[in-house]
Amino acid sequence: MQHDLCNKFFQYWEESRQGDALPSLDAFSGDVLASYGECGLIFKLQHGDIVLSYCGEQYAQVLNSDSVGKPLTDLFPLALKALQMSLLMPCFRQNIGMARLSRVCHGHRHKDVEWLMLPVLDEKTGEIALVGLSVTFTKFDERDSITIGSTLVERIMRQNFLSLDNPVDLSVIDSHSWAVLDTMGAQITVDGTLVSHTTNGLVGAAAVAVSKVAQANVLAVADPSEFGRVLSRLGARYNLKIVQTCEEARAILKADMIDVLVTTESIDGTSGSQLIQDMQQISAFTACVMMLNPKDTAEDTRVVEQDGKFVQCLVKPVGEFALRKALDDANDHVVKRRFDNIQKY
């Protein structure tokens, strides 16, 4: 786990065990869960559905509807419901836990979310429930709302099943769900070891939903005329936002998760180099592509520093193929860094 609250919660869960037995659900009262940043969750299995039985105030601010008592999968598009069921059902059936790191799109921005769900015994019913947290690495924004019927897009980066000394059987994840996970670029592991599986192609509504969230999140700070006739094609290939001032760019970089920043050598009186320096102070992972003004000393260059900072410079005029390749290379670098960072935990 990456978030301190998740690590502390796991420790409390372990301390609540009596020998090899699962902790009791009674050990996770509302007061106890509230002490973990009001991010607590309880899931129960009812009539074949995974139902949200409890959520903390922090999570309730995001779920601006009466979601308690309703199936968790109602928050996801129909094409992705089966995937969510297959990734949680083994925890109920096999007394195992899971830790998931995802990127979630709320419409106005993206943010990283870490889930930790662990099995407990509901002594009133004799059934297994899941208790845990859903925490973010950014401050709450009142626009971070998810309602029943809305399209919640979640790119799963990694889900690590925690065996808790139990055997783990993931046969419930069918070939279609594996294809969805592969399209996301997700890593599925058991106690940190990658799970092997058969890879198939993905088609249909799930392919549309997942391919969009798997695209690079690109912020361009330039006059739209800089991109000419390729603008619409770039918009189809990436999650693209275009602004024309550094002030707008800084606000987005602070609020959203940008994979690649595209800038020109000068923007509204500020140098592109200064904007890149500002960006590197705000975001540890964002890569940059800068389009240079043509002059004798200007040349295409790529700089990757030891701390992972990535800057690709292209001399204008920049062709569509060269720009797309630079954006793809920058995004590949960012994705690799993110996964390398995940491996530390």
Burial class for 333, CB neighbours closer than 10 Å (0-12, 13-18, 19+): buried
Give the number of C-alpha atoms closer than 13 A to the C-alpha of residue 309, restricted to the C-beta side.
13
> How many angstroms separate the Cα of 170 from the Cα of each of 132, 146, 148, 161, 175?
21, 29, 28, 10, 11
CA 147 from centre of chain: 18
Report yes or no on whether pTM surpasses 0.75: no
Residue 219: strand pairing partners: 241, 261
**45 vs 127: CA distance, rounded Å:** 8
What's the pLDDT score for residue 138?
66
1 DSSP assignment: -
Assigned token pair, 301: 């260059």
Mean pLDDT, consecutive 10-residue stretches, the chain (345 aa), reads 90 93 95 90 91 81 68 77 90 96 70 91 95 80 54 80 95 86 88 86 62 78 78 81 89 84 84 86 86 85 83 88 91 82 59
**Hey, what amino acid is at 282?**
I
Among residues 178, 176, 181, 183, the alpha carbon closest in space to that of 197 is found at 178
pLDDT (0 to 100) of residue 123? 93
- Find residue 154's DSSP bridge partners: 104
* Pairwise CA distance, residues 74 & 76, whole Å: 5
Asked whether the beta carbons of 119 and 50 are under 8 A apart, the reply is no
Whole-number Å distance between alpha carbons of 304 and 302: 7
Between β-strands 287-292 and 310-315, what pairing exists: parallel, antiparallel or unpaired?
A: parallel
